[in-house]
Every structure is written in C-alpha cells, then in structure tokens.
Structure 1
Amino acid sequence: MLSGKEVWIVTRQDQVRHVLTSPAMSSNVKLPGYPLQFPVPDEVLQHMELPVVAMDPPDHTVRRRALIPELTAKRMQALRPRIQEVVDEHISAMLAQGGPVDLVEALAIPVPSLIFCELMGVPIDETATFRAFAETTVKSDVTPEEVGAATQAMDEYLAVLVEQKEKDATDDLLGRIIARNATEGTLERKDIVALARMLLFGGFDTITNMITLGTAVLLQHPDQLADLRRDPSLLPKAIEELLRYLSIADSATARVATEDIEIDGVLIRAGEGIIALNGSANRDETVFEDPDTLDIRREIALHSAFGHGIHQCPGANLVRVELEIVFRTLFSRIPELRFAVPENELEFKSFTLIHGMKSLPVTW
C-alpha cells in the first residue's frame, strides 16, 4: 500500500460480499488503517468532504437517498433516444473519416463524456477539465501534491456550478437534487459538491474503459460476436458477462475494520485494512463454471462488477444502457470492424485503479 502498511485481501465471492455488507467494515477513507490506494496528502484528505462512496450510515443513507431517484432504471431508459443520437453521430463521423481510427478517441471518450455533461448540466466545453480530474484521481503514479491540487481545483469549480444552479434552476440531475434540497434542507452546499465529485469520478473513466475493453474482447471472440450479430437479444446477457469477465475496478473497493471480525476462520482486528477483489470474486470457480472463459450466453444471477451492498454503484443502470446502445450500434453499422494493429501491440493503461486501454486502433 502507499502507506507501507500490510492489508488483508479477500478473493472469493462470499468473502467479498461479507466484507461489503458487514457493519463492522467502514468505507471512511479518513480512518487510520484504511488502505488508501492513491496518493492524497493527509492535510487534503482530512479536510476533504467525503463522497458518498466513502461514507458510512447514517450520513451515507441521507446522501444516497438524494441521488438514487435521479439514476433509476426508468430515468436511464428515458435517455435512450439521446444516447442513440450521440452514438450514431460519432459512428457516422468514424465512417466518414475511414479507418483506421482510435476507438478510444473516436467513440469511447466522447460518448460517455457528452452524455455525462448533459446529464449533470455541465457545459460541454468543460469536458476536458472533468476528464483530466477523473483520470488524475485514479492514478497511482502521480504525486500527492498533484492529486491534492486537482481535488481542490475541481471542488472549487463544482462549488461555483452548484451555486449557479441554486440561483437559476436547471432541469438536470444536479439541478433537480438542488431543487429538492431547497425544500428538504438535508444537505449543505459542500455535501452536494461532494456528490457531484463522486459522480464525476464514476461517470467518465469507467464507461470509457468498458467500451474499449468490451469491444476488444468481443473482437477476440469472433464466433461469439457473430452469434451476437445474428441474435441481438443476447446483448443483455453479453453485457453482464463482459462486466463480470473484465471487472475493470478489480481492486478499487477497500474497507477498514471498526471492530474485530472473523471471515472464513481468519481474525481481522479493528483498525486493519481490507481490499475486496471484485475481479477475483467474479472469477470464483465455486460460483461460475469455467470462469476464465467468456460466454455471452452465461446465466449470471449476480456478479460483483458494480460492488455489493449499500455502496453498490448507483450508476449501474446508466452503464448498462450506454453499453447496450454502443455495442449494438457499433457492430451493426460496422460489421467488418477489426483490429488495425496486431493484438500484441495493443496498449493498456498502467498505474491506475480502473483498468483500461490507452488506445484501440480499429479499421474495417
């Protein structure tokens, strides 16, 4: 760990779910012993307003209750026409340009970035600023000073944005949270800023990486991709399988014990840190048959790609809708899509908590 302290690792699905649902486990990154995996100066950490994913009940409950109505399956389904329009525009631009293109820059970055900015009511021309912040906060090869500066700068920007929306109501996710809070009064401005920061963290890099990695994996399995083209009804299963198979936030879920707890006969003492490996849980052979094999027809009752328990990713509905539209449209409009470089030349990200690709050169 960055602190040099030893931590526990849990790998089985039942162990991971035990950790993520136990009241003896805290998500509070400020607590001694929490296994912080990115470099934040302690003076910044201790004064930072915690995002909802780093809170415990009852504070977590209040903030998540403010957020969840905005991310329901019904609301995300209502975004389908706009998401389809954005995806079509970018794929049309790819076709007009002709291959090869970098799918990261041509599709995987701009689509979720644009949708996220529209969802939040953020000016589109600020996309690059938000992306730079999101990427800085998940890297492990940056300095604590860089993370601290990025965190402070983004909180200052978001505070101004929230203040503007308090004065002039807007019909977007952030605007509606602010409007409800004006009546309910459960959150302070700093709490809403922290919520916005958390959404920023989860709204950019994750979907981008799933688009690129998911596309690459499907291209590596041409027989299953052909099945998917012939039978688009397989797409929901395929997306769940890709989420399980890739588990891009494998080690991002961490906790610290607030009291002694025993997991599978092992005593974990209060103050000791734990990292729950979601990717390992999703390859647990006691749960998934032949877990290291991609199978788009696999029946999955439940996986851990979005975490588990009260901190399960609130944006899961949006992720599923975006991935379904992107993959269906991409492979139907460009059926001859293929790698533009040998597979051993594909470049992957390193020193980051969220797995992904630096680029994905494709042609047709």
Structure 2
Amino acid sequence: MAGHALFRKALLAPAVSADHTHPAYPTMTPVRRRRSGNEPEPKRGYSGMDPPDHTAHRRLAGALFSAAEADRVRPAVRRIVDESLDVLAGGPNPADLVTGFADQVASLVIAEVLGIRQRGRLARLSRVLVDRLADPAEVARASVEIRERITEELRAVESLDAGDALLSRLVGRYERARVYDRDHVVELVGSLVIAGHETTASAISLGVLALLCHPDQLATLRADPLLMPSAVEELLRYLSIADLVTARVTIVPLPLGDVVLPAGVGVVLSGAAANHDPRVFERPGQLNIRRDARRHVAFGYGVHRCIGQHLARVALAEVFGRLLTRFPGLRLADADASARSRSRAALHGLTELVVTW
C-alpha cells in the first residue's frame, strides 16, 4: 500500500492489529513465520502487541530509549566508532566497509548499550532471521537460540545491581512495577538486538554508498558538518531500509482511500512509497541533505514507531561524521563492482561495499 497519508492513517487506525500470531498476518519476514513441528509458540512479543498491553510495555521500556538517553551514551558510541575506524585504517586498503566496519559498529553499539556479552553470535543469528530465503528449519533454530542466549543474559542481571547497562535497568523497571515477565522481556530484547544490528549496519553501508554516489552532497556535508542531523534524516528517508516490514492485519473493516478492506486481511505498508511521496517531499528521488525530511516514516509511525530511533540517529551521526573526517579521500574502489546488494534480506542492505582512501 502506497502513499504517505495512507501509510500514517493505516498505522493510527484502531481497525488494524500488529498481532503476528493472527492467521491472516502477512509473513513478510522469517521472524514472523509460523512455527512448525514441536517448537513451542512463544508469548506474543512487544512488537506484536496492541494497546493497552503495548502501551504498558512502551511506558516501561520507552524511557530508557529517549533522546536524552541516546545523548548519554553518545561518548560510548563515539569510542566504538573510533576504535572500529582504527581497525579499518590498520587493515588492508581497499577494504570491505560492510564486514570491516558497518557490521562491527552496529553489533558493538547495540551490545554496549544493552550490556550484552554475546555480541558476535547474536549478530550472526539476527542475520539469519532477516534472510527471506533462509531454510525454515535454520530460521527456527536461530530463533530458539537467540531467545536462549538472551534468557541467559537476563538471568545474569535479574535482581542484581549490574550498573547502568540498559538491560539491567530494564529488568529493574519491570521488577519495581511488579510486572516482570522474563519471556516478554526476552522477546523485547530480541527485537532490539535484531533491529538494532541489521538496520544500523544497513544504514551505515547504504548511507556511505549514497554519499559517495552523490559527490555534490558529500562535498556539502564535508563543508558544513552542522548539516549532519539533516543529512541523517534525509538518508533515512531516501534509503527507506525497512521498507516492507510494516505489516498489520485488519480486525474490523478499514476504510482506506477509495476502498474498504474487510476484516481479517493482511496489510503491507510500503515505507519507501510513503517516503518518496511527491506530495510530501519535492523531487523525492533526489538526495538532498538540506531538505527538511523530518516527516519521513523510516522508523514507522504511531504507537509502534521504532523505540530505538534516537539511538539510531546518534549512531549514524557519529559514524558518518567521524568516518568522513578520518578518511577525507574515501571513495569507491571500483565504481562498477564495489557494492553488492543483500537481495535475500527482508531489510535493504549490502553484503559488500569495497572502498579505498
């Protein structure tokens, strides 16, 4: 379904549900495929809840993902980016920016913020879960393992003073509210790990590629670093990485545009179509870092808008700013064969981006 206005209207409508256990829910990603065999169905996770249940969880978890909290962890994000740039600079040149930088930064940032120890393994599992063509049995195994590993992390911090790590503070808030349910928190943390790694890694590599392919925009950003917040918003709009992961199911008839969708049908909402709607964004196919792109829906819209959006903005601003400063001569190693898209994934991304400096 296309269009900025329809996208937002559908996500605000009480007639639609995010319950991915509903038989008619569109199974766009492997994470939401129906389980088979003897594998138990987990409790409906945070991302699949509707108000008022979702509202209660959002209130508990949301405060830990505010803009102020994202600024609080900015020094840690900057340290991770700088250390990763050191490794990149000390390695081969040309280098693959995906495996040599983007994947590492995304994995380290979400693990650092959450306070998770099993960084590399969880990142590899998340990649399986967004592979549209992965074997269902492999997806099932990865889904079980990621829940088991996050359960281990939760057990390590339950009822303990584990410092300022978000995972510990999250458990503490649920316990103080007397509503702590480990299974629900496992699902919440799992969605954060998957989304935090995959979307950030993709935004880094595709964002760098977009800037390198638009040298005028890159030059403008280099000349005026104060444009970075605007550039991040425009890149989020322009790339629309999580294009087809916004899905719902109607629970009562839903008037939408010129049609009325009956109850019990799946609805897939195109974020890219909304973000490239010429009625909202002039010349939407052009990358323009001076554009006011704040009306984009790259993080979704409504009650389920991405809870980690502020952290994502901080991470991308630090990555682009410090990468471009560290490597003023950054360029594609071979304009004809430097980037390979991750066509199997439910999220837009790259498997390879070869650059030199």
Number of the residue aligned with 1:330: 323
Are 2:173 and 1:169 equivalent residues in the alignment? no
Cα distance, 1:159–1:301 mapped onto 2, change above 3 Å: closer
Q: CA RMSD in A?
A: 1.5
Out of 304, 316, 322, the residue aligned to residue 311 of structure 1 is: 304
Cα distance in 1 between the residues matched to 2:332 and 2:186: 41
CA positional deviation for 1:223: 1.2
Number of aligned residue pairs: 353
Query: Once the two structures are superposed, what CA deviation does each residue of 1:44-85 show, in whole Å capped at 9, x if it has no partner?
Result: 887122221111112111211121111111111011212111
CA positional deviation for 1:345: 4.6
Query: Once the two structures are superposed, what CA deviation does each residue of 1:88-141 show, in whole Å capped at 9, x if it has no partner?
Result: 122122223351111112211111211211111111xx2221112211111110
Are 2:132 and 1:134 equivalent residues in the alignment? no
Number of the residue aligned with 1:68: 62
Cα distance in 1 between the residues matched to 2:89 and 2:46: 41
Out of 8, 13, 19, the residue aligned to residue 4 of structure 2 is: 13
Are 2:77 and 1:92 equivalent residues in the alignment? no
CA positional deviation for 1:179: 1.4
Q: Which runs of 5+ in 1 are unaligned?
A: 1-9
Out of 137, 148, 151, the residue aligned to residue 143 of structure 2 is: 151
TM-score (norm 2): 0.95
Out of 21, 42, 47, the residue aligned to residue 30 of structure 1 is: 21
Number of the residue aligned with 1:242: 235
Aligned residues of 2:126 and 2:198 also touching (Cα < 8 A): yes
1:135-284 alignment to 2 at 5 Å? Answer: 135-171=127-163, 172-284=165-277
Aligned residues of 2:233 and 2:294 also touching (Cα < 8 A): no
Question: Which stretch shifts more, 129-138 or 162-171?
Answer: 162-171
CA positional deviation for 1:226: 0.7
Letter in 2 for 1:165: V
Letter in 2 for 1:111: V
Cα distance, 1:156–1:301 mapped onto 2, change above 3 Å: closer
Cα distance, 1:231–1:45 mapped onto 2, change above 3 Å: farther
Query: Once the two structures are superposed, what CA deviation does each residue of 1:224-277 show, in whole Å capped at 9, x if it has no partner?
Result: 111111111111111111000000010010000000111012010000110000
Aligned residues of 1:30 and 1:46 also touching (Cα < 8 A): no
TM-score (norm 1): 0.93
Aligned residues of 2:35 and 2:140 also touching (Cα < 8 A): no
Cα distance, 1:343–1:239 mapped onto 2, change above 3 Å: farther
Aligned residues of 1:100 and 1:362 also touching (Cα < 8 A): yes
Aligned residues: percent identity? 36
CA positional deviation for 1:187: 2.8
Cα distance, 1:46–1:260 mapped onto 2, change above 3 Å: farther
1:333-352 alignment to 2 at 5 Å? Answer: 333-352=326-345
Cα distance, 1:99–1:345 mapped onto 2, change above 3 Å: closer
Query: Once the two structures are superposed, what CA deviation does each residue of 1:183-209 show, in whole Å capped at 9, x if it has no partner?
Result: 211231111111111111211111000
Aligned residues of 1:232 and 1:328 also touching (Cα < 8 A): yes
Question: Which stretch shifts more, 160-169 or 252-261?
Answer: 160-169
CA positional deviation for 1:41: 3.8
Letter in 1 for 2:330: L
Cα distance in 2 between the residues matched to 1:186 and 1:358: 41
Cα distance in 1 between the residues matched to 2:127 and 2:27: 16
